[in-house]
Structure 1
Amino acid sequence: MDPVTSGILIGVALLALMAIGTPIAFALGSVSLVALVLGRGMSELVYFGETFYNSIASFGFVAIPMFILMGSAVASSPTGRDLYRSLDLWLGRVPGGLAISNIGACSIFAALSGSSPATCAAIGKLGIPEMRKRGYPDGVAAGCIAAGGTLGILIPPSVTMIVYGISTETSIGRLFIAGALPGLMLAVLFMVWTVIACKMAGGYGNPLAAAAEQAKGNVEGNLKALVRVLPFLAVVTGILFALYGGVATPTEAAAVGAFLCLALAILVYRLWQPAPLKLIMRDALRESVMIMLIIAAAEVFAYALSSMFITQTIAGGIAALEVNRWVLMGVINLFLLVAGFFLPPVAVIVMTAPILLPIILQAHFDPYWFAVVLTINLEIGLITPPVGLNLFIINGIAPDIALRDVLLGSLPYALCMVLGIVLLCFFPAIATWLPDLIIG
């Protein structure tokens, strides 16, 4: 069977398994196993096990559970509540200010947790009910949180950037720096659209009189909330300084950050009881295992495609396109966008980044700039069907908001991300200037 036909059959089988609710890791692993046995014989079972183990037997991957534990300590404590309250103190009483403060809270919480689902859930549990209470349309309330949550995979420290760095053997510290300014750019674009959406909705966004008086009376409490958040922000700042200054490796920085955030959660919020600590460890373990399984299964899937010459055929077809390099980039972006509709960011990066990187370099694109463009494409997939993880998280937080309203409220933010990619294409220095300035 020729590689193109094999690739189509494998793709259809993978989509069919995911359509019936099979977990991503098991879908990737089972399709890979069947493809290898049918295509190359039972002897491939040995390489299946070796590839599965070796794909995650890297010291660099230790940073992933450490950063997840760090984020879990923040997400499972009242840090998100305090962050939300402190930003609401400054922005909650201006037109559209509450929605803007939610996006700001998502941006900061993304830096604290490094996780899109954690950001979406932590801020959404507080922000969505409050916005609806103050008269914001359901679409704006749900959409701004769903979009703000996507910043968790771009603003450093980001787990997906770590996976990209290990998969492509690029500097993780430089990747973190490259994602900082684009992350802020997207946050600003989200805020601009939020103000426009509030005005288009007929003047929504000004707090009701009672809510304004209540916010005024809670100034002291909100200031105390800000004081409780500041130590966590100091930890993140210190971690980024250690990474950018070459003081520590990502794994070392992640381990120290996880310990400090866990200690702060215990001391600041008095989480002395076994129950909250068990919750933090459970959430960290669950997400770490899920991501590592996806990485291992995606690596086996990539090995299966490579063994059957499907990867080489696709890469050769893209490289053989005698088109302008920007047209080539457009084709790659379209491919990433479609992949993000069906697969989680980690799986897409592990499977595609090693294949696309040589093509990117041959077309004279910066690999760190491309990492940012790739990540924004995957952010779009988090708020678009059929997978759209953040859409389902929002639907779980506010089940009385129709999924259709969540989707319609999120789509304008997806267009903001497309605009962000366009701006990066015209002004690549948005991603490359800060790494060049700091690292050289």
Structure 2
Amino acid sequence: MSTHNLSRDHFPNDFKWGVATSSFQIEGAHDSDGKGPSIWDTFCDIDGKIADASNGHVACEHYRRWPQDVELIHGLGVNAYRFSISWPRVQPDGQGPWNEAGFAFYDQLIAALEQRGIEVHLTLNHWDLPQALQDLGGWANRDLCGHFTRYATEVARRFGHRLQSICTHNEPWVIAILGYEQGIFAPGIQSRSQAMQAVHHLLLSHGMALQAMRGLGVKAAMGIVLNLSPIYPASDDPKDLAKAHLDDGLILRWYMDALYKGSYPQDVIDHLGEDAPHVMPGDLNTIAQVNDFLGVNYYTRNFSSSGNPWDVASTGNEVTDMGWEVYPQGLTELLCRLHADYQPQRLWVTENGAAFKDQWVDGVVADPQRLAYIRDHIAATHAALKQGVPVGAYFAWSLMDNFEWASGYAKRFGLVHVDFETQKRTLKQSALWYRNFLSGQ
């Protein structure tokens, strides 16, 4: 079926169509109403870490403009919204007293979504860890598993009956590898052993939190969101084939095997050597809780080379403003592989989108490349459905332009353009297309 002929009617009636955001990227109000600092507040203050030397102090000012943003979401015609809670906004130190002003903000937001019939899909940890917990060692410290479980339980106690789903962690690979091994994301540490220990504690805290929230009788679907990609060898050279298999182990199998098989892949453990995490008896059983859904964040495919890094431009395919190859068929391949190898109960595409340089044409934000990207990846999702994969959701990333982590405000992923000087929101052509697609036009 041509991507141009695909319509919403080709998907199941209960398919979830949404947009997604995260707290630090949009909320601003970094020290308002009792909020504590997060590791990203700290990281932004380090010279040279953010491309444009910006920070999240204001961002999209969503903390104050949320009523307008809820109307934006409703106007798109989506039936689901995925966002995250800022842990330091509701518990400034990551332990100890709760901040009622922070909880009141999310209570209002959830109520507004409920009133408009929009499902609420909540993420507990989208990277903005309370700085006070980082001061104790962050995710490399096993104690964080207990702190996170108490936080998750409190959120579930207050809001669980009003949520369609709860995601524990968004992209633990990014948190650990970019934050603790490569140091290019917060908290800016460069230690492979700390990174792998952080990975283990993120997965362990996921399992512990699921047990605790289910112990409350919460009926919301519970799961985790991973950033995953098909990985291709750069050539047929045996060294490249071996490197691609290892990279697949580090990026996909390490997480999926632990979550769905209760084990870490032995080849990766052997590769890590002394940097392999310390795993205590019973940890892997705790990690392998039943997930009601697996969230998949997909943007591009990856190549592995034993020598020089692979140049994606050599594929001849379009490349986004992030330098990522546009490869929608990789999403179909990935969803089919996850279904075949691990049989998740439900697969959701929880993030998918692209950064491009927007153009203003006669008062309209023209973004034909993003429009085509979203359209073609929706088609790729449908192709997986046709092959029997139980994929039940598609969330476009992102609702609006925002603080794009180490890239600052230079990279725009939004369906909605944000003028960061005036905070004016303008629907881009991609947003208009998505709205028309969802309305059957």
Which structure: greater strand fraction? Answer: 2
Structure with the larger helix share: 1
- State which structure, 1 or 2, has the greater radius of gyration over its C-alpha atoms: 1
- Structure with larger RCO (C-alpha < 8 A, sep 6+): 1
